[in-house]
């Protein structure tokens, strides 16, 4: 982490902790080297900051007591709550006016109020959104998810929350997908913050075989422009999926290039 004070004029913070490099299970999301390739792609470009673990009170904003106890019993509690804390840190940086990206794992968007699967344990983005809302900092929140997989956990958590919109980028014909996102964003008004579930497994060289690296930059630009227009530029993203280490670093880098100030 010694090179992390280099900023080079980029207004954008990366929330990261070397503990995310630990191979905490045999799941693809926990694979050895996965965090390091992203870290390497970003380390000379952006300032890095460390998160604090989410507290049990934070996790309880989203999950049942039984759910939290179950994760405690899995042996993954410490790393999972550090990931949720990473999302919280990114949300606080975004609220204060600087865009942020939480380079964290395990991912979160398949964790619901009282269920979890798909390498997810706590719903990192949902915990961060609910904490901002509970503290009265924001009311209306947009969550954009461009992971290959639908964030059923996130949708489950916010199903009865009229103030939190969840949008998942659907697979469409090549020229249609970004147009659809752009059209959706153009109809939304007066949000307080936009949070992004940034998964990179839809890439042409990952499981989705669909999006190109430059598409991630374009998605970043579209969401940035929305944030500038409708929510005082407040925006942050958290890592979800993305498994091909040959392309993962450059894909995250491309998204952030579009997303940063």
Least Å distance, CB 149 to Zn ion, is: 4
Which of residues 46 and 119 has its CB atom nearest to Zn ion in the complex? 119
Which of residues 128 and 197 has its CB atom nearest to Zn ion in the complex? 197
Query: Which single residue brings its beta carbon nearest to Zn ion?
Result: 241
- Catalog residues that contact Zn ion under the rule CB under 5 A: 147-149, 199, 201, 241
Distances (CA, A) of 82 to 102, 168, 213, 214: 11, 25, 28, 30
**Distant-in-sequence, close-in-space partners of 40: CB < 8 Å, separation ≥ 6:** 249
Which of residues 12 and 104 has its CB atom nearest to Zn ion in the complex? 104
CA distance 65 to 115: 12
Which of residues 151 and 249 has its CB atom nearest to Zn ion in the complex? 151
Which of residues 242 and 258 has its CB atom nearest to Zn ion in the complex? 242
Structure tokens of 174?
Answer: 């090549």
Which of residues 60 and 210 has its CB atom nearest to Zn ion in the complex? 210
Pick the closest to residue 16 from 88, 85, 77, 86 (CA basis).
86
Least Å distance, CB 173 to Zn ion, is: 21
Q: State phi, psi for 97 to the nearest 5 degrees.
A: 115, 0
CA distance 235 to 226: 9
Least Å distance, CB 41 to Zn ion, is: 19
CA distance 99 to 93: 7
Least Å distance, CB 17 to Zn ion, is: 22
Least Å distance, CB 193 to Zn ion, is: 23
Least Å distance, CB 95 to Zn ion, is: 27
CA distance 165 to 244: 30
CA distance 142 to 23: 32
């Amino acid at each position: 982490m010694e090179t992390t004070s280099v900023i080079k004029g980029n207004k954008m913070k990366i929330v990261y902790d070397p503990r995310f490099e630990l191979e905490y299970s045999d799941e693809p999301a926990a694979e050895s080297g996965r965090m390091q390739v992203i870290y390497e792609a970003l380390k000379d470009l952006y300032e890095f900051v460390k998160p604090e673990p989410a507290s049990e009170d934070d996790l309880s904003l989203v999950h049942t007591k039984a759910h939290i106890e179950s994760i405690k019993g899995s042996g993954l509690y410490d790393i999972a709550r550090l990931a949720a804390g990473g999302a919280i840190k990114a949300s606080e940086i975004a609220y204060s006016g600087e865009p942020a990206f939480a380079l964290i794992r395990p991912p979160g968007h398949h964790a619901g109020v009282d269920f979890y699967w798909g390498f997810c344990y706590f719903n990192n983005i949902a915990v961060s959104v609910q904490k901002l809302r509970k503290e009265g900092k924001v009311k209306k929140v947009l969550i954009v998810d461009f992971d290959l997989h639908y964030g059923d956990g996130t949708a489950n958590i916010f199903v009865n929350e009229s103030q939190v919109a969840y949008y998942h980028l659907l697979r469409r014909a090549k020229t249609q997908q970004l147009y659809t996102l752009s059209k959706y964003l153009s109809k939304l008004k007066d949000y307080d913050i936009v949070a992004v579930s940034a998964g990179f497994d839809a890439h042409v060289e990952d499981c989705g075989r669909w999006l190109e690296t430059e598409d991630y930059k374009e998605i970043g630009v579209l969401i940035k422009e929305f944030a500038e227009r409708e929510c005082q530029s407040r925006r942050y993203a958290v890592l979800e999926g993305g498994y091909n280490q040959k392309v993962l670093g450059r894909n995250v880098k491309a998204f952030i290039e579009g997303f940063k100030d």
